[in-house]
Structure formats: structure tokens, C-alpha cells
Structure 1
Amino acid sequence: MSNLNLDQIRSFLAVLDSGSFTAAAGVLGVRQSTVSGHIARLEQALDRPLLMRDTHRVAATPDGQAMIGFARDLLEAHDRLRAFFSPSGLRGRIRLGVSEDYTLSALAQVLARFADRHPSVDLQLTVGLSRTLYQGYDAGELDVIFCKRRRGDPRGELAWAEELIWAGRPGSLPDPALPVPLILYPPPSMTRALALDALEAAGRSWRIACTSGSLMGLRAAVEAGLGFAPHSARVMPPGLAPIPKSAGLPAIGEVEFVVLGSGHQHPIATALKETILASTAELQAVPEP
């Protein structure tokens, strides 16, 4: 099979979407003979008839029906690639909401690359708790959010999932005879809700020892030995240590990190989403001490 040509694929979809070769030529801004030639060469490359033609209509053959999904995926991937690597052409404002969890990651470098590629885009950044970011997105105050997936909400493209475990000061363990002292984000934190749900389900008593809206504040409280906090199992910074399972604290579970954007009608949002999703390995890397 010969290599496929994207212009031919665009013509194929335009014919089916518009219903005729003449209409497809108008949509694409080319002559009808060009569209006909594209279809003929595409069918030759695939060695399959893709369209059935008569004097009244154009319809896809069974192979043509199978081709539609592949064709749309190819064009979408091509458009996403161009949006990702385009050094210019996008203009306007994009409002990005980012979970507090990423403030100590490589996010700054990722956003700097986006700004370099799209110098005419005004990037406005909001950092907050995931639930608050969802509220802002649903209210139309944010165009893209990068945060934990809200329970029961299927929206968003998965960046990665990771396990949450309990962390404390090295050498410290919870006293089984006392309520567990907790160091948590304030409501409506998703991590807070997961931790409290796990403790309630296990019948383990608890008390709030420290509340902070800052990841640095939470870590400082843990390092000071004020209590225990849910933390990513993937990376444990200096001054914190995982609490062994033998200590009796219940498993917290996994969280999913997603990117949620405004869709293809917002090309800047699409470009920003693709930049973030293409940088997941970098964002998950353990920061240098």
C-alpha cells in the first residue's frame, strides 16, 4: 500500500460530509476535477473502492465506512500536531487553572515552552484546589484545568493516575489508642475527602491537626511532626517518610490527574492541552532536591 496523502483524505471526508463532489470542491476551495482525482488516487493507494456514485447521491462502500473513522483520526492527529508545534498564528487569551499539587513540578518549564511557541497568547494562571478549579471551569471562568479528576465526572483527558499513601516525619508512627492527627488541605479538597472517607470506612478516629491551602505548608507541618498527611506514593520529598502498612492506617486509593479544556472550538485551549499532555513524563519527574 502506498503512503496516504492528507489532502486526498480531506477530499474523501468532504465528499461524504457535503453529499457530492461539487459541494466538496466548494468547501475545500478547489476544482471538482481535483476532488475526483484525490478520491481516485486514494482508492488506488488502498486498492479498495471507497465511494459508490450514481446520478443522485454519493455513499460510502463498506470499506469506505471503515475508512471514515481512520480518516478523521488521522486529520485530528495532524491538526493537533500542527497546533502543538506551531510557533505562531494563535492569538488571544487562555485562562488556565492548575491544582496546587503541581506547584513544585516542572510546570513552570512546560508553560514557558508554550509561551515561547505562542508569543501572541496571553496566558492567565490560577492555582487552587481541584474542586475549586472545576467550579471555575463550569462557571466559564477558566478555559483549561489541570487537576485531579472529580468523582463521578467522566470529563477530561487522563494524564496519569497515582496512589496516595500516608506520610509523616521520619520515625513517627500514629498511636493506635489516639485519634490520628491529620494534616490536610481545607475543604473542598479531593485529597482531604479521600483520606477522611478511608478513615471513616475503617472506623478509625481522627482529628485535624493542621489545615493549609499550600503544599509547602502541608509539608512543613508534616516535617514538624504535627501529624500525618496523604501524599503521592510516586515521590516522597526529603523530611517526609511513608508510613508502613503495619501502622494500621487504611489505604487511601488512587487519584487520577486530568486535563479538561474547552474543546476544538477553542484552538488555544487545544494547543495548551496538547502541550500539557505531551509533557506528562516531565511533570511526573522527581524534582531535584
Structure 2
Amino acid sequence: MIDPALLRTFLTVAEAGGFSEAARRLGLGQSTVSHHVRRLEGLIGRVLFERDTHSVHLTGDGQAMTSFARGILDQQDRALRYFARPGLRGRVRFGVCEDYLLGHAADVLGRFRRVHPGVDVELSVELSVVLHRRLAEGDLDLVVAKRDSGQGIRRDPLLWVGGPGPRPDPGEPLPLVLYPEPSVTRVRALRTLREHGIEWRIGCVSERLNGLRAAVQAGLGVGLFAASLVPEGLCPVEGLPDPGTVTFVLDHRTGTTGIAARALADAVLSSQWSKPDHPARPVEYA
């Protein structure tokens, strides 16, 4: 590793055209300047200046070194400026279920970025069951996901929704558009229909919310969504049994939660979506 002080001395000599002027600019003794240049030449094994009694000129290797030296010093200065800025630093591995991502995450992440521009967010979008598992395995720091019951940051009624076209034929098994297993809303939909003796069939399965929305809009079946996150263009379907509610939780990695993750959790909790008229009690995080 090359001492930045040697590089600064070298560049000053090159710009000043001599050791005496460089020493004056740097506030160093001429012998110190000469020593710095000799040390640098010794480290790289090249002669950087041609010297005579009247002038100092860069060699070919010296000309090449000026570019390297400026680049190294510029990178060092940028690093020092970066870490000297106030505010949080770090990375948060944030997992969200897709309906929350497309419904409200952009607003939360946008406000978080404006307040904490030095924090990087690694975003994972999965089914809620998968997110809870990855959190337990230590792959994620923070998740916003659905849970079948319990306490969380919000409890929403579930709604059966369909597209703008004709409703399913009541004499036929009800076509469903669902997430694949494991899915909280899939389990709830099938359990509700079984409990009420309603025949059903799977009309379409998609891992992505946009895929579910397109399938419902196309009339392939009926979907089940949290009331606050129903995709645009879909509308409630009447006459089906009440599927109950679903809980959204904000959960964190077991053990010490980093300051950056705590800040992102605060951003989620402060959003309007996390403040319904009758919210569930927020999950505590340490």
C-alpha cells in the first residue's frame, strides 16, 4: 500500500516543476520532499523524475504515475467525504409480501430514503409464509407479511373480488384465482368455501399479484384480497361467505436489531396504511 502523503508530495513536485517550490507549497523541508519521492520510487521500482542542476522533468513512468496518484487520492477523498456525512449507514434486508409492495411500500421506502439516504435496502418479495421462514433462518432483517391471525400492525377484512365482466355461474364450481402454496389467503379461501359446502376449482394460479389481477380481470375466476390492497380494476363479489380478516405483521430478525432496520421499521409504523381506524397492537421490536 502506498502512503497517500507520498503521492501528494509527488504530485506537488510534478505540478511545481521542482523540489524547492514543492517544499514551499507543502510547508515541508526540501530534504523531506526528496525523501518522499525516493520512498515512492523505491516502492514501485521506477524512476519518476529526471533531475539536473536546473530543472526536474517527469519520466515516462512519472507521467503514468500522475494519473494513478490522482485517482488514488480522489478515491480516498471521496471515501472520507462519504463517511463524514451525518446520518445512518448500513444495509437492511427487507422482505415484503407482494400486495403490500404494490400497494404501499413505494411510499414508505421513498420517505425512508429521503430521511436516510445512506442506508441501502435489499428488497425481497415473496409469499408471506416464505418471508416468515427466511426471517427465522436469518436471511432477512425485517418483514411486512400476512399472518392468518394474531396481533400485528394492521388487521384487514378479506374481500372476494372479480373483474368487470359477468359473475361466475352459481350452478358450477366456483373458479378461483389464487397464489400457489404456501399462501395465507389461499388457505383461507379454500377453508372458508369448504366450511360452507361450496364447490370450487382452481381457475388460475400465479406467484405474482399482477398475474392474479390480470386473471381476475379476464374472468378466469374470483380472487381473495385484503380490503386495503385490492388491485385497481377489481370489485367485490357479493353472495359468498365472509372469509374473515387477515393480519399484517411487522417482524424483525431474532436477536439485536440494527439501527438502520429499526429506522425502517419506524417508517413502516408511521405510514397511514399502518394506522387504520381500529388497528391491531403493533408488534414490539428490540
Q: Same fold (TM over 0.5)?
A: yes
- Whole-Å separation in 2 of the counterparts to 1:220 and 1:280: 27
- Whole-Å separation in 1 of the counterparts to 2:173 and 2:86: 57
- Whole-Å separation in 1 of the counterparts to 2:126 and 2:133: 11
Equivalent residue in structure 2 for 1:255, among 224, 246, 255: 246
Equivalent residue in structure 2 for 1:95, among 93, 96, 109: 93
Tell me which amino acid in the other structure corresponds to 1:210.
Answer: C
1:124: Cα distance to partner?
0.4
- Residue 120 (structure 2) aligns with: 122
**Is the CA contact (8 Å cut-off) linking 1:160 and 1:280 kept in structure 2?**
no
- Residue 183 (structure 2) aligns with: 189
- 1:157-211: CA deviations, max 9, x gaps? 7221111111112353232321110000111010111001101111111111100
**Is the CA contact (8 Å cut-off) linking 1:107 and 1:283 kept in structure 2?**
no
Q: TM-score, normalised by structure 1?
A: 0.60
- Whole-Å separation in 2 of the counterparts to 1:281 and 1:106: 7
Larger radius of gyration between Structure 1 and Structure 2: 2
- Whole-Å separation in 1 of the counterparts to 2:249 and 2:272: 10
1:235: Cα distance to partner?
5.7
SS at match of 2:152: strand
1:265: Cα distance to partner?
4.1
Tell me which amino acid in the other structure corresponds to 1:261.
Answer: H
- Whole-Å separation in 2 of the counterparts to 1:236 and 1:119: 31
1:231 is the counterpart of 2:225: yes
Equivalent residue in structure 2 for 1:177, among 171, 180, 204: 171
1:101: Cα distance to partner?
0.8
CA 1:238–1:277 in 2, change beyond 3 Å: closer, same or farther? closer
- Whole-Å separation in 1 of the counterparts to 2:229 and 2:245: 14
**Is the CA contact (8 Å cut-off) linking 2:153 and 2:274 kept in structure 1?**
no
CA 1:143–1:212 in 2, change beyond 3 Å: closer, same or farther? same
- Whole-Å separation in 2 of the counterparts to 1:107 and 1:96: 11
1:270 is the counterpart of 2:268: no
- Residue 59 (structure 1) aligns with: none
CA 1:99–1:270 in 2, change beyond 3 Å: closer, same or farther? same
- Whole-Å separation in 1 of the counterparts to 2:127 and 2:199: 25
- 1:115-149: CA deviations, max 9, x gaps? 23223322100011100100110110000000112
- Residue 244 (structure 1) aligns with: 238
SS at match of 1:195: helix
For structure 2, list consecutive stretches of 5 or more residues without a partner in the other structure.
Answer: 1-84, 277-286
Tell me which amino acid in the other structure corresponds to 1:176.
Answer: P
Tell me which amino acid in the other structure corresponds to 1:279.
Answer: S
**Is the CA contact (8 Å cut-off) linking 2:165 and 2:219 kept in structure 1?**
no
CA 1:88–1:97 in 2, change beyond 3 Å: closer, same or farther? farther
- 1:242-270: CA deviations, max 9, x gaps? 1112xxx2211100111101365422221
For structure 1, list consecutive stretches of 5 or more residues without a partner in the other structure.
Answer: 1-86, 285-289
CA 1:102–1:88 in 2, change beyond 3 Å: closer, same or farther? farther
SS at match of 1:123: strand
Q: Percent identity?
A: 45
Q: TM-score, normalised by structure 2?
A: 0.61
- Residue 6 (structure 1) aligns with: none
- Whole-Å separation in 2 of the counterparts to 1:167 and 1:181: 12
Tell me which amino acid in the other structure corresponds to 2:265.
Answer: K
SS at match of 1:106: helix
- Whole-Å separation in 2 of the counterparts to 1:126 and 1:264: 21
1:236: Cα distance to partner?
4.7
Q: How many residues end up aligned between the 2 structures?
A: 191
